[in-house]
Amino acid sequence: MSVVKKIVETASGKIIGKDDGIVTAFLGIPFAQPPIGTLRWKAPEKYMPQASVIIADNFGNSPIQFSSTKTKLNESEDCLFLNIWKPSQKHPKIPVFVWIYGGGFVSGSSSFPAYNGRHLAEHGILFVSFNYRLSSLGFMVLKNEEKPGCFDCNYGLKDQLLALEWVKENIEVFGGDSNNITVGGESVGAFSITALLTSAKTKELFHKVILLSGTIEALRRFMPKAYGTPDEVYHNTERLLSKLNLANTSFANLQKIPIKRFISHTPINHFFPTEPEFSIVEDDEIFPKGGLEESIRNNSFRKLPMMLGFTNDEGTVFTSQLKQMSRAEYIVWLKNRLGNSFAEKIYAFFPDKTFAERIKIIQLVFKFAGFIIPELRIADYNSTSQNTYIFSFNRVSCSRLCELYGAYHSSEIQYFMGNLPENLSSNLTDCNLSESMVSAWIEFIKNSPINNIPLTNWPLYSKQERYFKTFDENISEGNLNSNKTTRLFLEILK
């Protein structure tokens, strides 16, 4: 198949991509100035066009990874790049889908194979993905030396905002419809999107949302020490700088410290952390005063056509490294994430005499308190004015990870994006399931946000009738109100 060059002119300058006659790809487009040197721990600045043409035929650098998992990524602080896949054939106003990756704010990259946008582009979608800064580089709270009493924070989230602004401003030159943009994300990608739904800064930037495994409420459940206002979580910065013997170092000198020193002191498992954690904080420069979770609970967020979902075994990967936990440690863990009164209800309903029983309960808490109930809460409000859909992904394939963890957290992504690995793409059951899931996404993404026509063969969700679709070997429909455990956690966490 021959490949030809395609040139477009954007606010970032002239960009050359590659077109194979089916899909045109533009990979590694800079959307911000490199966040290095004096721009480390600063809000991203718009990319300044250069005289030279941008050759966008390979992924840009990935963000510095703060995970113990080794990768073959080209990691760098200079990482603010985005990617576009679009149909080669000209279409008027192609529906746009923007993807925000998960990874616990410690790992992730838009260049991961599971996030390749080619398959959706083959089905008439303009697919965008981008990088954002992670962990201490993206979310460490620092005192603003020029404004006493103020803090700098949320740089990674501001990367996301700038990328979305770039898409809104430039996507039409690629053939995209700037008035039909769907933004989707998984895990902390979904946390980020629900946080952005409370911000006035995103009002015109996107029109529909897809949330896989998470809303902002999960931050308090999973990362309680990192959640709060900047002054409430500044202690994490103090702890880290103290460990690095940098407690009295000026901001200008911190910007010069080799980043490797910071990488070695980030949490390996941030759900049972031993080191300081970093996450989205309640920054009133972006968010309304009063708290992010409170904005959701008080129904103060933007209502849009919405698809939400979770996997059947959300909690398994989070407990995989946990070898022992005493009952005293278990009680502290529950209280930190649920509060005293909620934790006491868990003790009353679920026996926990053995370590194995405690693990099962923790997995249940991750699934329901971390994912399902927060998603139902936002769906209850959203469905009063917008079409809302919920799914459960239950497929346990023949993969090694599924053998260990069942329908684990993030296992649905490769099905929705049509990016099954070789060991699954040869399995007819998995191929058929992926085809059905891709079709559901395409219908939702292509749907006009103005007409908002209900999806085919997918019942609308409402608080009164919590209909959902199960994606498994056999696709089915059900009502979460008839699920005993769901009803129990709805009562516990109301």
Q: What is the pLDDT of residues 440-456, one digit of tens each?
A: 999 999 999 888 899 99
Q: How confident is the model at residue 400 (pLDDT cuts 50, 70, 90)?
A: very high
Q: Which of 134, 151, 317 is nearest to 232 (CA)?
A: 151
Q: How confident is the model at residue 294 (pLDDT cuts 50, 70, 90)?
A: confident
User: Among 119-123, 197-201, 223-227, 393-397, where is mean pLDDT lowest?
Assistant: 223-227
CA distance 225 to 223: 6
User: Among 5-9, 24-28, 473-477, where is mean pLDDT lowest?
Assistant: 5-9
Percent of the chain scored above 70 by pLDDT?
A: 97
Instruction: Note the pLDDT tens digit of each residue in 337-355.
Output: 888 888 888 888 888 889 9
- Residue found by looking up tokens 């401003």 in the block: 169
Residue 219: CB partners within 8 Å, gap ≥ 6? 191, 226, 227, 279, 280, 292, 293
Domain ranges of the chain: 4-221+285-324+358-492
275 token code pair: 């080191």
Q: pLDDT at position 121, please? A: 98
Give me the chain's average pLDDT, please. 92
Residue 294: CB partners within 8 Å, gap ≥ 6? 300
Per residue, what are the HEC states of the chain? CCCEEEEEEECCEEEEEEECCCEEEEEEEECECCCCHHHCCCCCCECCCCCCCEECECCCCECCCCCCCCCCCCECCCCCEEEEEEECCCCCCEEEEEEECCCCCCCCCCCCHHHCCHHHHHCCCEEEEECCCCHHHHHCCEECCCCCCCEECCHHHHHHHHHHHHHHHHHHHHCEEEEEEEEEEECHHHHHHHHHCCCHHHCCCCCEEEEECCCCHHHHHHCCCCCCCHHHHHHHHHHHHHHCCCCCCCHHHHCCCCCHHHHCCCCCCCCCCCCCCCCCCCCCCCCCCCCHHHHHHCCCCCCCCEEEEEECECCCHHHCCCCCCCHHHHHHHHHHHHCHHHHHHHHHHCCCCCHHHHHHHHHHHHHHHHHHHHHHHHHHHHCCCCCEEEEEECCCCCCHHHHHHCCECCCCHHHHCCCCCHHHHCCHHHHHHHHHHHHHHHHHHHCCCCCCCCCCCCCCCCCCCCEEEEECCCCEEEEHHHCHHHHHHHHHCC
Question: How distant is the alpha carbon of residue 134 from its chain centre?
Answer: 12
Q: Which residues pair with residue 26 across a beta bridge?
A: 84
- Residue found by looking up tokens 């959203």 in the block: 382
Q: What would the mean pLDDT of 79-90 be, rounded to a whole number?
A: 96
Phi, psi of 30 (to 5 degrees): -70, 130
Q: Which residues pair with residue 388 across a beta bridge?
A: 306
Burial of 463 from C-beta contacts in 10 A (0-12 / 13-18 / 19+) = middle
Instruction: Note the pLDDT tens digit of each residue in 351-393.
Output: 888 999 999 999 999 999 999 999 999 999 999 999 999 999 9
Q: How confident is the model at residue 233 (pLDDT cuts 50, 70, 90)?
A: very high
Phi, psi of 8 (to 5 degrees): -130, 155
CATH of 4-221+285-324+358-492, one of 2.40.160.210, 3.40.50.720, 3.40.50.1820, 3.90.550.10: 3.40.50.1820
Tell me the residue type at 105: F
User: Among 115-119, 151-155, 268-272, 482-486, where is mean pLDDT lowest?
Assistant: 268-272
Q: How confident is the model at residue 429 (pLDDT cuts 50, 70, 90)?
A: very high
290 token code pair: 């009063």
Predicted TM-score of the model (pTM): 0.96
> How many CA within 13 A on the CB side of residue 399?
20
